Amino acid sequence: IRDRAWALPSPSINWDSTMAQEIERKFLINDPRIVDSLAGERLTQGYLSHDKNATVRVRIAGTRGWLTIKGKTVGATRSEFEYPVPEQDARQMLDELCGAGVIDKTRYRLPQGALCWEIDVFHGDNDGLIVAEIELPSEDTPFDKPDWLGEEVTGDPRYYNSALSSTPYNQWADD
């Protein structure tokens, strides 16, 4: 067994804080040139579970690996728990446990005041899809909607990355 000391809780983390939540709004993009001047990070991710009540994702970002468990989305909110894993373990999980449907995308970050837009440009079977997400401290947090933002797709499960891994964008019928 490899050394797992990295998994010990950090003394700087408040383990008594409120439950881990992700509050996220998702939009299509009107103008993909918004990312032209931004530096992006390539992400590769796959799913160990696609259950409607919980998904389990493994992701590689650069040389970092992550295991993320997400609960069922209600409105724009869901539980989210994320843990670092060694890159080698994450690669092995992607190769051996995720099967077909691994997501390949480049993420760009665009700060907006205290918030930050994450713009995902998808590759491979999801090529042509560009989605912008913004994480919020609460569902009713106001935020500016830039001109490059298109239709909101927060409530459309086809745009969940877990759904894109099993039914890629290039397989959708023309809407």
Half-sphere exposure in the Cβ direction for 162 (13 Å, CA): 20
Catalytic residue among 47, 83, 108, 169: 47
- Residue 108 annotated as catalytic: no
* Collapsed DSSP state (helix, strand, coil) of residue 165: helix
Give the span between the Cα atoms of 171 and 95, in whole angstroms. Answer: 23
Of the candidates 86, 53, 84, 91, which has an alpha carbon nearest to the alpha carbon of residue 68?
84
> Could you give the residue numbers annotated as active site?
47
